Structure 1
Amino acid sequence: MRALRVKLQGFTLIELLIAIAVVGILAAIAIPSYESYMTRSKLKGAQADLAALGLVMENFYQKQLRYPTTTTSNTADTRCVAASGSTTCTASGWQPSQDGFTYKIVTATTSTYKLEALGTSGKVNGCSITLTQDNVRAIASCSSYNGSWQ
């Protein structure tokens, strides 16, 4: 009688469990790292938007020899003030590059201003990023990202 040799193909249960464990360990390392990267990216985007808004304010100052004196409480109003120096929106002079933040002109006099980006969603919810006419920059209420920004 001939011995029949049957060649089995596939994975054993142990091999599958090892592969699942390796994928789990990699995911446990990669997911928090990715979330941190995305949070830093959102903060940098908001900082760039504030810097651009500050440039619009400085441009207004160069033309009028004063800053707009209107304060705002939301991004749409801020766009109008940045465009025309008043609450009458004549043209869009500034547009934020991302969602997730509300941009405000917190204080405004003819010689000073303070701009703020306030996080509204996800890990940046409640983060306050500020910029003044003297280029004083700060981040507050934002877990491990508090302090100044470059």
Structure 2
Amino acid sequence: MQSVKGHKGFTLIELMVVIAVIGILAAIAWPNYQDYLLKSRRAQAQSDMLKIQLGLEKWRANNSTYTATLANVGFVDGNPYYDYAVTGAAAGDPPTGSIYVIRATAQGAQAEDSGCTSLTLNQSNARGPAGCWKS
């Protein structure tokens, strides 16, 4: 019978335990990571909407009306997860001298952000849906 004294390494049981622990940690971490991604993309969209709002107010100060063209307010859309639009009170209506609504619609992977796929911000700084905006 040979001595086990000189053998080094891991047994199959030890390796299986390590794989099981890694699997459990990954099962917990992955959903949290996905949630973090959704929230960070939403925060970026909200920041973009506030930039658009500032541009709209500057435009109105010089032109006595709001514009629906994002390029007119110096905004270049580079966000692949949201589509931005400036409308009147109802979607499809043009903005007026006193009313606008900035709409950010989730697209692609961001469309999985349940309840927060359409963000709005208007001239009175009303934000919707309320649960999607943090103070």
Aligned residue number for residue 92 of structure 2:
none
TM-aligned CA distance change 1:148 to 1:120, over 3 Å:
closer
Is 1:147 matched up with 2:131? yes
Is 1:8 matched up with 2:7? yes
Aligned residue number for residue 46 of structure 1:
45
TM-aligned CA distance change 1:116 to 1:4, over 3 Å:
closer
1:96 pairs with 77, 82, 87, which one? 77
TM-score by length of 2: 0.81
Shift of 1:31: 0.3
Q: How does 1:12-31 map to 2 (within 5 A)?
A: 12-31=11-30
TM-aligned CA distance change 1:25 to 1:148, over 3 Å:
closer
Supply the AA of the counterpart residue of 1:104.
Answer: A
Supply the AA of the counterpart residue of 1:105.
Answer: V
Q: What is the alpha-carbon distance in structure 2 between the residues aligned to residue 66 and residue 135 of structure 1? A: 17
Q: What is the alpha-carbon distance in structure 2 between the residues aligned to residue 39 and residue 50 of structure 1? A: 17
Is 1:79 matched up with 2:78? no
Q: What is the alpha-carbon distance in structure 1 between the residues aligned to residue 49 and residue 118 of structure 2? A: 11
Aligned residue number for residue 122 of structure 1:
109
Q: What is the alpha-carbon distance in structure 2 between the residues aligned to residue 148 and residue 41 of structure 1? A: 12
Question: 8 Å contact 1:67–1:111 — kept in the other structure?
Answer: yes
TM-aligned CA distance change 1:115 to 1:12, over 3 Å:
same
Question: 8 Å contact 2:87–2:100 — kept in the other structure?
Answer: yes
- Secondary structure, in 3 states, of the residue corresponding to 1:102? strand
Unmatched runs of 5 consecutive residues or more in structure 1 = 71-77, 84-92, 140-145
Is 1:136 matched up with 2:126? yes
Unmatched runs of 5 consecutive residues or more in structure 2 = 89-94
Is 1:112 matched up with 2:99? yes
- Secondary structure, in 3 states, of the residue corresponding to 2:131? coil
Q: What is the alpha-carbon distance in structure 2 between the residues aligned to residue 18 and residue 54 of structure 1? A: 54
For the aligned residue pairs, the C-alpha RMSD in angstroms reads: 2.1
Give deviations 1:3-47, integer Å, cap 9, x for gaps.
877611111011001100110111011100000000000000000
TM-score by length of 1: 0.74
